[in-house]
Chain A
Amino acid sequence: MKKLPVSKIQELFAAIRAQQTLYIPTDDASGQARYLPWQEGMELTHALNTVRSAKDFFFPQTENLVEFKLKGKEIEIIDSRTEQDDFVIFGVRACDARSFTILDKVFLIDPIDTYYKNRREHGTVVTLACTQPEETCFCTTFGIDPADPEGDAACWIAGDSLYLKARTEKGEKLLSALDNLLADADEGEIAAQQKATRDIAQKLPFAKLNLAGFNGENLNKLFDSKKWPELSEACLGCGTCTFVCPTCQCYDIRDFDTGHGVKRFRCWDSCMYSDFTLMAHGNSRNSQVERFRQRFMHKLVYFPANNEGEYGCVGCGRCLAKCPISMNIVKVAKALEGEVQ
């Protein structure tokens, strides 16, 4: 483990920036946190987390995939990919770090999504341990330790020091390049902070959220629950929950007519939208009840059924904070637990 005085954090950022693009969570004009490319003087936010999750770095909201140009009777196919440079994301929380593992299970299985893989290979994730979880946090439900985040390298800000620990080869590489700034440290120096954070985590309102029974075996019982209409009644059908979610990964691929060719792009989709999975025959989910159910069944049942019990949620709490009508995965899970437990 290494450390440097927090007062030198700008020097650390500058040293990373000298080698590759660095993104840090910082306050934007509206006073909320978002990831921006670091520039001299840009400060780390005091907010617990960003509004948009860190998934944007690997799975952007829109991206061009391929271009077709018409030349007489020939079609020229142009790969729209741009060369991805190495980049570092600093300050990722434990929940978002876990979301990458979940996204990997979607995009890096055969057939591998090369657009995603390209970014993933070039990105180094530096996480930052939480010290003041919010009441909306429930990452521990998914076995995530907010005091000991995953990532290529992990950081802790304790007292006047920033502690860093490499966890992967990429992390080692990054830290060794910064060695002249860092001093050796002992893991014991962060133990008190870790304990304090874990104590708070145990006292969080959803610390005892129980998802037992949310699995493939109970698929039909949950799908057929009579509670869905009531739960979805006030849903506006907006995409807020899906777009701030670090694990929502549904996308749409469309063609844009440029007048003399076609640009094929993909963009995030939302199961809350009326044209989600619209096919030539029509739509398989015609009501908001069905669309709403899809989101929670996907995260709590279908995903774990296909991924050895891993849920499609990391408990970051963004949907709890941002849903315009305050309906969310915790309320759904609590309402449905009676069906399976």
Chain B
Amino acid sequence: MQELMLAKAKELLQNGTVNRVLGWQAGEFVYDITPAVFESEQDLDAGFVYNEFCGNNLSKYLIKESRKEGKVLAFLKPCDTYSFNQLIKEHRIIRENVYVIGVPCEGKTDGETLKSKGVKGILGAKSEGDELIIDTLYGEQRLSKRDALTARCLTCKSKKHVVYDELLGEEGEEVPENHRFEEVEKLEAMTPDERFAFWRGELSRCIRCNACRNVCPACSCEKCVFDNPASGISQKAAADSFEENMFHIIRAFHVAGRCTDCGECSRVCPQNIPLHLLNRKFIKDIDAFYGEYQAGEDTESRAPLTNFTYDDVEPSIVYKGGKK
């Protein structure tokens, strides 16, 4: 696939369709991939890569990139295309300045995931059939590709692109049996006290690095209220640990109905806080109260939380603990 993408990128650069390419750049190891803009064939040959470690969602970079001169080629994975559509819907990306090529995704892994499976001293990795063969400082290790998948990929909702100008490789299928709400259901089954304790425990590890917010395609405000010293509620340090927890809850509310469940928030969290579960709870509730809805599936429909129909649930649902 990487060769196909390289050839396509060079072709589109040569014939002037685009003047630069947004993709992934190889790093020092096999897994430390950095999103990058390539402006020439030499740049592409020097570092362009696409493999099972290219997990970063590139859509958010297009807010900035689509405002630059010329057209940018963006390689998007299926889940990235949802974020892309959502950003189009919110008028954050200038569509005509982007040439989208959909690329297939079989699920991704990353250094942190491999290390959580006990792999130490990763020097290299190659795939062989259903296995990932990892060369380490302490000898060779093998992991089944399924075991190497990141948590978000284990509950992948779709391998099908919702938008593209051109597709490389074969189009995938939606994954209806993705079980992505199972963890939410576990939380719902808890008593309020247990749930409170769960989140207090998880969120207590937050170091307020803002990585979840900054990587989130739904968090696209020019200036976050929490960063603005003039807002009166800027929050470089919280007054107490509950205020700290509130940051995440407020953020989840802010992206409710717009979060496509790309999972970047949990991927980047240095403290492994399962932040995506907050968003998934909202997605699940929106599905239950307003009918199935997938943010980013299209660019035109009205979103349930910014729409009104006579079938909407009554606000009093809050007082019934979410039960209709």
Spell out A's residues near B (CB within 8 Å): 28-32, 34, 48, 51-52, 61-62, 132-135, 200, 203-206, 233-234, 236-240, 242-244, 252, 254, 256, 265, 267-270, 273-275, 278, 320-322, 324-328, 330-331, 334
Contact = CB atoms under 8 A, between A and B. Distances in A.
Nearest to A234: B35
B137 A240 contact: no
A51 B271 contact: yes
A233 B237 contact: no
A326 B34 contact: yes
Interface stretch (B71-79, B172-180, B209-217): B209-217
Interface in B202-250: 202, 205, 207-211, 213-215, 223, 227-229, 234, 236-239
Interface in B1-56: 27-29, 31-37, 56
Contacts of A252: 236-237
B112 interface: yes
Interface residues of B, number: 50
Nearest to A242: B209
B137 A200 contact: yes
A30 B210 contact: no
B308 interface: no
A325 B123 contact: no
A320 B32 CA distance: 8
Interface stretch (B93-101, B114-122, B160-168, B280-288): B114-122
A35 to B, nearest CB: 12
Interface of B: 27-29, 31-37, 56, 61, 111-112, 115-116, 120-123, 136-138, 201-202, 205, 207-211, 213-215, 223, 227-229, 234, 236-239, 264, 267-268, 270-273
B122 to A, nearest CB: 5
Contact of A239 (B31, B201, B209, B228): B209
Given A62-B237, A254-B236, A254-B237, A325 B35 contact: yes
Contact of B120 (A134, A265, A321): A134
Contacts of B215: 236, 238, 324
A203 B121 CA distance: 11
A134 B112 CA distance: 12
A330 B236 contact: no
Contact of B123 (A132, A135, A331): A135
B214 to A, nearest CB: 4
A125 B236 CA distance: 29
Contact of B207 (A52, A205, A265, A325): A52
Nearest to A275: B229
11 contacts: A28-B205, A61-B208, A62-B237, A134-B120, A206-B28, A239-B207, A256-B239, A269-B236, A275-B229, A275-B236, A320-B32
